[in-house]
Structure 1
Amino acid sequence: MRIVVRNSPAHGLATLEECEAVALRAWYGNAASSEDEAIALSVIKRSRLMDGWIECDCLPGRYQPLLAPIQQEHTYTLRRLLPKDEDPGRHEERPNHAHACPFHVDKDAAPSRFDRGYHLRPLPKSERSCIDALPAIPDRLADVSASDRIRSVERNDRPSRLGSILWRVLDKAGTNVIPPLQDERDFSLRDQLARLRSAAREFRVLRTWTLNALMSTWAADYRDPDSRWQRLLATSRPDWPETVRRTGFMGLFATSVSTQTIIPASSARKIDILAKVRQPLRGDPTSRGPFLTLLNVDFGDDDDGPARAVQAYAQPVYNGDTLFPVESGFE
């Protein structure tokens, strides 16, 4: 087995030792010892840190089956990458694992529990003033022998948590309310961001820290460890419990976004997102922008590195002066 470049498996990044390959197969085959699980966990974490895939070596020939490392909320796991039935052109590039391999996908049986589709569940409106920070870095593997009910609790089948935070702040600030035209109000991005920051004082991330104190609206703060925002986050370090990560937030007006990139209006440099930039499911994705984005930031797996944007939610807005939330350009 080896770690290969994501989306370009012809290019290798690292070769796994025999004991590491054995440990991965033993874990997925539900026959691993504690030592095997520790080795498998280190391999999955390393491949995810390298932003790569794991290439299995169970088949002869040019193309080998692929496995994607997945970091869930509390655990790490692997996802078997196979082409969809409606995409026959990828069948040769992504073959199934050998029948004797624990990663083999039996297409005649029920689909993999991890790969099943889930419907979005509505998130009830919350009146609580507490804001969820990032959970602690996972330190264990998923239980592949658990039932559907247990294994599905970490599925991302609910609206984005960052999205719900942003909507609550917008609602508290009244930014989602369009005043009558006869009021002839003058809008500006500075005033709108000031209203959002004022509303953020009503929410708490920790008992002693408000969302406003841990949030920046200036993109340059992301790369400046001496900025007031990062210094406040450093000051807050002793107050964070072990169950969550030290988490900062950024509320940025962005001209455009992609799946893993945000281009803020206040900086010429883009911000890369470790996970994914989520957007509303409704509306036309091709007719969107600009955006009001909310990011959460940590400081690496050891909590001692530079700021790292982990997740982001991009809410389409009418323009940069009003920040009225819309679904797409049709509005």
Structure 2
Amino acid sequence: MWLVAKDTTGKTGRVAISDELKAALVRWYTGRGSEADHRACVSLVSTARENHKWIACDCLGAEHPPPLMSAAYLSFQETYYLRRLTSRPGHEPGCPFHLPQAPPRIRETMKDSLYAIGLPKGLFSAHQKAPEKLAQKPEDIEPDDRSRGVAIPRLGKLLWLLLERAGSNILRELPPSGRRAGSISEEMRHLKRAAQGLEIAPGIRLSDHLYTNAIDYEKRRVHARLRAAAETWPPEFAPQAFLLLEASEVTSSEVVTGLGTVEIRNRIQHTGIIRAEVEPPFLVLAVVGEHSRREGYLALRAYAQPVFSGNQFVPAERDHDRDVLRALQQAQYELRRLGVRMAVKKVLFDIALATGSARPDFLVALLDEHSGVECKFALQILQSDDADYLELRSIERERLSQAGLVVSMAASSVTPEAIISEARSLLE
């Protein structure tokens, strides 16, 4: 067994792992190891990860390209695990590291269920102290169907929580005349103000370690302040800071802003914006922490969220979501001329109802300044004519209707005129 450089076949540049250490790894991985074996294994995988190495198995012999494993980790489980590189040779069936190949994933989408998105629990924290455990081989080695629910990463939920607290997910009502005032700096001020009410760790306010430009990271001001704060940081919590950046481009590992580019240690998480070629701008939340003393403080992970515009951080998933928001905003201006005020909130988290949770696309509030009549309703935007999808949205509509008015519109029919017509009919 060897350590080999990443992104190679593993046939060259091998650094041998001693027989004793290999035996300890096998014992621990197969559930027969001691705590001493465990400590030795954690040291091995952390060394491999910090030095950008893969672990090459010798079960096929020294002359053949070896099966390769990368030392990955789940931060919030504080656990390393050995991830098979399935595009490389497989292990011998009798090898302790052999697992049957799982069939292709059956991914669950909105067409399959009304999946839940709840508020993130606990502190505004996305990093824990360096993992000190190594996962063992699963007891059940039968291939599963690899089905997955729709999961929003914790960083994504934390970003949404901050947007919710700041009211940034609202198309706010217009002033009595003129255009809505707004800028990137004003949006960031709203978010910084909301950060004062959130804690990273007990007694540590998010606002004290939230940075909104890349320069603070490039000049290592983030690192310096975090090192100083670490001396009095609650010992059971990992010191961490957050970057909140308005980005003009997001790649797999870089956040490009007008004031510099920030490299993220791990692949940037998002909702498919690169694959779907969603246009900027994006709002990115990145956590800065220390995974190893050798590397020091780094931007470890990030979540990129498309937003309506650079001066309105209302979340959008695809470009057609921005079309809907533009139609709603144009309707605001037209309704103002008619003496009707309108505010629109993009719903990010589930709403608890008597018959179950639901999450409409928007909540809309109207006020007729002439008559004083007010109206609030949930707005569903139907993105597909697929029968299963429509059935699920119908279930959602039934749940929502028990709490108030619900309006459903096909995405293709959302125009300022249609919204104005619906609003006027509801206020009559």
Would the TM-score normalized by the shorter structure come out above 0.5?
yes
Structure-2 residue corresponding to 1:90: none
Indicate the percent of aligned positions where both proteins have the same amino acid.
27
Structure-2 residue corresponding to 1:242: 235
The 2-side partners of 1:156 and 1:246 are apart by 31
Structure-2 residue corresponding to 1:166: 159
Residue 230 of structure 1: how far off its partner (Å) = 4.3
Please state if 1:7 is matched with 2:7: yes
The 1-side partners of 2:98 and 2:202 are apart by 48
265, 279, 282: which one pairs with 1:288?
279
Structure-2 residue corresponding to 1:75: 79
Contact persistence 1:262–1:273 (CA under 8 A): yes
Identify if the C-alpha distance between structure 1 residues 102 and 276 changes in structure 2 by more than 3 Å, giving closer, same or farther. Answer: same
Please state if 1:53 is matched with 2:54: yes
Residue 287 of structure 1: how far off its partner (Å) = 2.2
The 2-side partners of 1:204 and 1:277 are apart by 24
Corresponding residue SS for 2:319: coil
Identify if the C-alpha distance between structure 1 residues 97 and 311 changes in structure 2 by more than 3 Å, giving closer, same or farther. Answer: same
Corresponding residue SS for 1:186: coil
Corresponding residue SS for 1:277: coil
Corresponding residue SS for 1:53: strand
Structure-2 residue corresponding to 1:89: none
The TM-score, its normalising length taken from structure 2, stands at 0.63
Residue 129 of structure 1: how far off its partner (Å) = 8.1
The 1-side partners of 2:171 and 2:60 are apart by 61
The 2-side partners of 1:231 and 1:26 are apart by 42
Aligned residues: 304
Corresponding residue SS for 2:36: helix
1:163-312 equivalence runs, <5 A = 163-179=156-172, 184-225=179-220, 227=221, 229-267=222-260, 270-280=261-271, 285-302=276-293, 306-312=296-302
298, 301, 315: which one pairs with 1:325?
315
99, 112, 116: which one pairs with 1:122?
116
More strand by share: 2
The 2-side partners of 1:143 and 1:183 are apart by 63
Residue 146 of structure 1: how far off its partner (Å) = 5.8
Structure-2 residue corresponding to 1:96: 90
1:207-243, CA deviations, whole angstroms, 9 ceiling, x for partnerless residues? 3221111111121111334x3x545433432443333
Contact persistence 2:30–2:136 (CA under 8 A): no
Q: Which has the larger radius of gyration?
A: 2
The 2-side partners of 1:76 and 1:157 are apart by 24
1:180-209, CA deviations, whole angstroms, 9 ceiling, x for partnerless residues? 566511322111111111111121223322
Structure-1 residue corresponding to 2:361: none
Residue 245 of structure 1: how far off its partner (Å) = 0.9
The TM-score, its normalising length taken from structure 1, stands at 0.80
The 2-side partners of 1:317 and 1:46 are apart by 39
Structure-1 residue corresponding to 2:39: 38
Identify if the C-alpha distance between structure 1 residues 12 and 281 changes in structure 2 by more than 3 Å, giving closer, same or farther. Answer: same
Contact persistence 2:2–2:16 (CA under 8 A): yes
Residue 135 of structure 1: how far off its partner (Å) = 1.4
Identify if the C-alpha distance between structure 1 residues 180 and 224 changes in structure 2 by more than 3 Å, giving closer, same or farther. Answer: same
1:25-67, CA deviations, whole angstroms, 9 ceiling, x for partnerless residues? 2222223233322222111111111223211111144321111
The 2-side partners of 1:19 and 1:65 are apart by 20
Identify if the C-alpha distance between structure 1 residues 29 and 206 changes in structure 2 by more than 3 Å, giving closer, same or farther. Answer: closer
The 2-side partners of 1:124 and 1:12 are apart by 47
Contact persistence 2:201–2:237 (CA under 8 A): no
Identify if the C-alpha distance between structure 1 residues 243 and 183 changes in structure 2 by more than 3 Å, giving closer, same or farther. Answer: farther
The 1-side partners of 2:276 and 2:255 are apart by 15
Q: CA RMSD in A?
A: 3.1
Structure-1 residue corresponding to 2:341: none
The 2-side partners of 1:132 and 1:17 are apart by 38
The 1-side partners of 2:105 and 2:25 are apart by 22
The 2-side partners of 1:144 and 1:282 are apart by 34
Contact persistence 1:253–1:320 (CA under 8 A): yes
